[in-house]
Structure 1
């Protein structure tokens, strides 16, 4: 079965290279990002720290923006929402979390005290309501959808006259992605706005149509902000507000400085991977340290988590390699012994295993010991038992799939999914993230992590279903494969491929709504962990967007943009 269809499957091997130069690098100097099936150790000699000039420029811009934000928050709630939206789109909102949180807390109280309605000095147009609704929910505030009732007719349909308000329609379109199950008005909003906006495109000038089309393809809530920063800044340049140019300038210099941070992290990842030596010992396995790092980079997006991002790449790597051991290397007899070794967490049972399996197990055990020691020292909790549990669950799920394949058994679709959400490997990754963040570690939260709560199973299900839609073409590996489609069609003999794919698409959509609800509910988990979960789910679509050449052109484009292409900046304020 589909043991290859995990969180980290697919895609070309990606690496970074740069010319050798001496001296401190300029943050605007690009490095070359190349994509190939052949792995290579990159020359990252240009990687270093941003120059003093750029750090000083950043600090001056940051101070000015902070002053502007404070003034606007004091004077205009509506303009504050607009500015906060821009800060988030430019991925610079992390500098102002205290101000943003305090503002949203006050405004949420006002909304709930007024019965769930939004209106600033009588201004409650479609744009205002939609923007505020989206920002509230995006930041974890469960505001009701009743505020949209004013825009529907007596039949419960959105008034057709709203289609003339393009700005409002775009805001409503973006808001519609924050719905939870049962909120039919948001489902209706998505259909209504999509059709109306598409119909309006021929009547717009080329620049307007380009911006609108891009927004339709990349809804904010389902997209990774870091990948869209450049396009957001570009699309924002037409705005001439009192602070727009200042936000753009801060966004550009901040992007370049964070880019240098990511390059330094990537250098550490490649050095670790090279020193580990598993690429030489496991010739059958895929060798993709850059791709592993990208998962880490987008999942823990806040720049302050630099050490955590580097550390997170390591369990990502081991999940990936374990998948390949089961999918393309081991015999069933060997995999049974391999799983026994994991379940006992020892090497004694490995005497009959091939050298590649032995060396992998030794590396995994060594890493887990080292990781646990770091967490114990930093956060006062030993995660060893939780990590062992996570690895055992993954290995046993892989073995179930291997036995299905070996016997020719086709499981029931629900049985397949129950096992499949574990074999994605997500629960292993999120267990490591939980301990790396070190927020809210106690017996209750640890027991919950160990039980794979819905916060983890929902994105795992989304990944499994996305993969099984058939969009992933494994990179030239001849491993075992299978899918939910196959299991479902075996149970529903009269179903067609088209109807099954529609069924899976609806399952993905409904699971996304469940994730939205999970984000709004009280939780023992920190906001940072929940954001990481959502970012991982957002990455899934990119990882499975293969072209006919078994490549990931969209992801490759984003990686080039984020790691290689900098903004050209003027060093004078």
Structure 2
């Protein structure tokens, strides 16, 4: 509930202490318990905190050879929490895959029953926006209060705290938007490059979503700078550049840290100009770079004071190995974006699509089958991302949270089916 209301930053130390105690006693506390809601809830909370809780805690509910026991079907809250817990899976955790399939089937079946409006809305929300892959604070917080048993005075107090914090956050964000608009106007690119997107508020949405802690105001303002330049360079290559001009532009940029991005954009441009689609894997490898995510999150990596142990920062000596979680998030973004083929972008250019490359390689496949293939890839990437966040991990919790938040934001920004 604290997470759903977006006030976890106020109770961070208390939450950390409680989860540490719960992890220490998890096996003994839950041995033989048949409360799927409680076990699934603690499993999810502990995994979110980075604890390596074994997935076999759900074996109690799994009838060997028959799957999850059917007596759980009518347990709405239990099924909802089981579905949320299944989103914390890593590769080769078959029981969590079974849990996802079973809980999803049960919840969808319940939607065909005579439920009251609020129950149906809660189930739909859980299926479409599970906590791990969505922003809880964007979902109506009052509905989660209403779902709690009984009218607790402490719940009303908590809601009041959440409302006050929301007003404070709004004030902080308005101040940041003012700073960003001032920076953008002084920079002058919006005036000098009429052909490029002029969307500082949209760029700020990424920064605000990635860095949710109120204390990170300065970082939010700084992060929008590489984000905005990625969008502008994308427009230059996709819409307004010529072959000769882009080659010269890329040569000039090679003096700076944007070299990899521009090189990848140039490769993409040349593929499109030639009319020859690359193999899907080759396209995706390059498109991970053109997503701009590695550049932006690398900036954030060092802005947050992270270190890369035992590696030189002198690029002439060796190439620095960046955290794998950055590239996982980049691949998630690229695949989500390519599902919509840039339908939601305010531009006329076309920069390629993994779906198109896949269909070219797999003659006879339908767009529907290609989309299903992409969604399976995204699901696999989330499992790898979940694994990267489990302890022991060499990177700070704030940086990991920022990467996960970026992945969450992707599904909101590029969900073309729901037109978010």
- TM-score bracket, shorter-length normalisation: over 0.9
Moved more, 171-180 or 470-479: 470-479
For 2:159 and 2:225, locate their aligned partners in 1 and report how far apart those are by CA, in whole Å: 35
Structure 1: segments with no counterpart, 5+ residues: 1-85, 346-387, 555-573
Q: Does 1:218 align with 2:129?
A: yes
Q: Compute the displacement of 1:164 (Å).
A: 1.9
For 2:114 and 2:375, locate their aligned partners in 1 and report how far apart those are by CA, in whole Å: 32
The 5-angstrom pairing of residues 92-241 of structure 1 reads: 92-111=7-26, 114=27, 118-119=29-30, 123-201=33-111, 202-228=113-139, 231-237=140-146, 239=148, 240-241=151-152
Alignment match, 2:338: 468
Q: Compute the displacement of 1:162 (Å).
A: 0.6
Alignment match, 2:291: 424
Secondary structure of 1:545's match? coil
Match of residue 495, structure 1, among 349, 365, 382 = 365
Q: Does 1:314 align with 2:218?
A: no
Alignment match, 2:402: 532
Q: Compute the displacement of 1:198 (Å).
A: 2.3
Q: Does 1:477 align with 2:392?
A: no
For 1:491 and 1:138, locate their aligned partners in 2 and report how far apart those are by CA, in whole Å: 38
The 5-angstrom pairing of residues 437-448 of structure 1 reads: 437-440=304-307, 444=311
Q: 1:246 to 1:441 in 2, by over 3 A?
A: farther
Moved more, 232-241 or 430-439: 232-241
Structure 2: segments with no counterpart, 5+ residues: none
Q: 1:445 to 1:343 in 2, by over 3 A?
A: closer
Secondary structure of 1:243's match? helix
The 5-angstrom pairing of residues 217-366 of structure 1 reads: 217-228=128-139, 231-237=140-146, 239=148, 240-345=151-256
Secondary structure of 1:472's match? coil
Q: 1:481 to 1:431 in 2, by over 3 A?
A: closer
Q: 1:225 to 1:203 in 2, by over 3 A?
A: same
Normalising by structure 2, report the TM-score: 0.93
For 1:258 and 1:191, locate their aligned partners in 2 and report how far apart those are by CA, in whole Å: 38
Q: 1:449 to 1:242 in 2, by over 3 A?
A: farther
For 1:184 and 1:118, locate their aligned partners in 2 and report how far apart those are by CA, in whole Å: 24
For 2:255 and 2:351, locate their aligned partners in 1 and report how far apart those are by CA, in whole Å: 28
CA-to-aligned-CA distance 1:42-87 (integer Å, 9 cap, x gap): xxxxxxxxxxxxxxxxxxxxxxxxxxxxxxxxxxxxxxxxxxxx11
The 5-angstrom pairing of residues 364-375 of structure 1 reads: none
Secondary structure of 1:451's match? coil
Secondary structure of 2:77's match? helix
When the two chains are superposed, the root-mean-square deviation of aligned CA atoms in Å is: 2.2
Secondary structure of 1:203's match? coil
Q: Does 1:458 align with 2:328?
A: yes
Q: Does 1:397 align with 2:267?
A: no
Q: 1:187 to 1:287 in 2, by over 3 A?
A: same
For 1:474 and 1:460, locate their aligned partners in 2 and report how far apart those are by CA, in whole Å: 18
Contact 1:462 1:508 in 2 (8 A): yes
Contact 1:435 1:441 in 2 (8 A): no
Q: Compute the displacement of 1:476 (Å).
A: 4.8
Alignment match, 1:17: none
Alignment match, 1:510: 380
Contact 1:118 1:147 in 2 (8 A): no
Match of residue 303, structure 2, among 423, 427, 436 = 436
For 1:106 and 1:460, locate their aligned partners in 2 and report how far apart those are by CA, in whole Å: 35
For 2:303 and 2:319, locate their aligned partners in 1 and report how far apart those are by CA, in whole Å: 13
Normalising by structure 1, report the TM-score: 0.69
For 2:194 and 2:302, locate their aligned partners in 1 and report how far apart those are by CA, in whole Å: 31
Larger Rg: 1
CA-to-aligned-CA distance 1:391-419 (integer Å, 9 cap, x gap): 11111101111111222232111111111
- How many residues are aligned here? 414
For 1:403 and 1:100, locate their aligned partners in 2 and report how far apart those are by CA, in whole Å: 52
Secondary structure of 2:409's match? helix
For 2:326 and 2:147, locate their aligned partners in 1 and report how far apart those are by CA, in whole Å: 41
Q: 1:537 to 1:446 in 2, by over 3 A?
A: farther
The 5-angstrom pairing of residues 17-166 of structure 1 reads: 86-111=1-26, 114=27, 118-119=29-30, 123-166=33-76
For 2:333 and 2:101, locate their aligned partners in 1 and report how far apart those are by CA, in whole Å: 24
Q: Compute the displacement of 1:156 (Å).
A: 4.7
Q: Compute the displacement of 1:187 (Å).
A: 1.4
CA-to-aligned-CA distance 1:384-443 (integer Å, 9 cap, x gap): xxxx2xx11111101111111222232111111111101100011111111221244655
Q: Compute the displacement of 1:512 (Å).
A: 0.9
CA-to-aligned-CA distance 1:491-511 (integer Å, 9 cap, x gap): 222323222221111111111
Q: Compute the displacement of 1:340 (Å).
A: 0.7
